[in-house]
Structure 1
Amino acid sequence: MRDMLGLMKQAQAMQEKIQAMQAEFERLDVEGQSGGGMVRVTMSAKGNLRDVAIDPSLLNPDERQILEDLIVTAHEDARRKAERLMEEKMQGLTAGLSLPPGVKLPF
């Protein structure tokens, strides 16, 4: 029974750490780029888009499709960076746990 109480305390502490980390992910910004930096997007590590910056030279109506593609590519770049950041942070948090392979936190 004593082991169960200790396990429950560990689970509660882990839940609190995960909640704190999720709040931190909302505050952390990542930037994605495309077109050699001509299009940049900034988003939270949780994926909320905060800013889009476009080089004025791309604001040609004849190149609208190129600009749209660059925005999508920059957003994808930022999303990948956010995923890597979250994985790195979660690895540090779960380092002492013996989780089964493939389990991702937060659930």
Structure 2
Amino acid sequence: MSQNPFDALTGGGDLAGALGGLDLGALLQQAQQMQEDLQSAQERLADTSVEGSVAGGVVTVTVSGVGELTAVNITPEALDGTDAAALADLGDLIVAAFRDARTKVDELASDTLGPLAGGLPGAGEPGTPGQLGF
């Protein structure tokens, strides 16, 4: 065995042979490439907009690929009066449209980031939060 304890990290010495020729340099390069790919995918998501709608488009919301609500569009048909019940119904429609958009964002994030996650535990299992944590 070499006197230099760092030989094992650089591929020299007997320890490298005992580890089956583990190339830590290549492993580091692979990790850096995965990090760059993940960052690129996250940037693409941030630049993406997703729409969610309910009641045939009476209420439509736009959500960024990272889950930020960016716009709400309400058609006149959404308001069936101005009483408290009509406004509560409008609120329910907005929430439902946001949930629709959020589901689409989670699917987009899963499709975009899933291959980069390499099968993280719990990914895609029912009852677990989506990629964005909701």
Secondary structure of the corresponding residue to residue 8 of structure 1: helix
Corresponding residue number in structure 2 for 1:84: 107
Gaps of 5+ in 1: none
Residue correspondences, number: 103
Map Cα deviations across residues 42-65 of structure 1 (whole Å, 9 max, x no partner).
Answer: 111101111100011223312001
Identity across aligned pairs (percent)? 39
Task: Please tell me the residue identity of whatever aligns with 2:65.
Answer: A
Aligned 1:1-107 pairs, distance under 5 A: 1=9, 2=11, 3-59=23-79, 60-62=81-83, 63-93=86-116, 97=118, 99=119, 101-102=121-122
Corresponding residue number in structure 1 for 2:15: none
Gaps of 5+ in 2: 1-8, 12-22, 125-130
Measure how far apart 1:100 and its partner are: 5.4
Q: 1:14 to 1:52 in 2, by over 3 A?
A: same
TM-score (norm 2): 0.68
Measure how far apart 1:102 and its partner are: 3.1
RMSD: 2.2
Secondary structure of the corresponding residue to residue 30 of structure 1: strand
2-structure distance, mates of 1:37, 1:4: 54
Map Cα deviations across residues 5-32 of structure 1 (whole Å, 9 max, x no partner).
Answer: 1111111111111111111111101100
The answer to which structure, 1 or 2, has the higher relative contact order (CA under 8 A, 6+ apart) is 1
Larger radius of gyration: 2
Structure 1's consecutive aligned runs of 4 or more residues displaced over 6 angstroms after TM superposition are none
